[in-house]
Structure 1
Amino acid sequence: MDRIDRHILATLQHDGRISTADLAEKVGLSPSPCARRLKRLEDDGFIQHYQANLEKEKVGINMTFFVEIGLNRHQEDTIESFESALLEMPEVINAHVVSGSFDYLLEVVSPNLQGYEAFTNKLHKLSSVKDIHTHLSVRQLATKRVLPVYL
Structure 2
Amino acid sequence: MLDQRDRRIVEYLQHDADMPVTDLADLVGLSASACWRRIKSLEESGLITRRVALVDRRKANVGMTVFVAVRTSRHSIEWLESFRSAIADIPEIVEAYRLTGDMDYLLRMVVPDVEVYDAVYKQLIARLDFTDISSFIGMEELKYTTAVPMNYLI
Give the alignment's TM-score, normalised by structure 1.
0.95
- Shift of the alpha carbon at 1:67? 0.3
Alpha carbon RMSD of aligned pairs, Å? 1.1
Matched, 1:77 2:92: no
Select between 55-64 and 126-135 the one with higher mean Cα deviation.
126-135
Distance 1:63 1:124 in 2: 21
Residues 21 and 30, structure 1, Cα contact 8 Å, conserved in 2: yes
Q: How many angstroms apart in 2 are the aligned matches of 1:135 and 1:52?
A: 27
Using the alignment, how far apart are the partners of 2:129 and 2:118 within structure 1? 19
- Alpha-carbon distance in 2 for matches of 1:107, 1:148: 21
Aligned-pair CA distance for 1:130: 2.4
Deviation of 1:11 after TM superposition, in Å, equals: 0.5
Quote the Cα distance in structure 1 between the aligned partners of 2:59 and 2:36: 34
Which position in structure 2 is the counterpart of 1:108? Answer: 109
Q: Report the alpha carbon displacement of residue 87 of structure 1 after superposing the two structures with TM.
A: 1.3
Aligned to 2:50: 49
- Counterpart for residue 126 of structure 1: 127
The count of aligned residue pairs is 151
In the alignment, which residue of structure 2 is the partner of 1:145? 146
Q: Residues of 1 paired with 2:146 and 2:74: CA distance?
A: 34
Q: After the TM superposition, which parts of structure 1 deviate over 4 Å for at least 4 consecutive aligned residues?
A: none
Distance 1:40 1:62 in 2: 36
Paired residues of 1:63 and 1:137 also in contact (CA < 8 A): yes
Structure 1 gap ranges (5+) = none
CA deviation vs aligned residue, 1:64-97 (integer Å, no higher than 9, x gap): 1100011221111110111121111101111111
Instruction: Kindly state the Cα deviation for residue 131 of structure 1 after the two structures are TM-superposed.
Output: 1.4
Unaligned runs of 5+ residues in structure 2 are: none
Q: Which amino acid in the other structure matches residue 65 of structure 1?
A: V
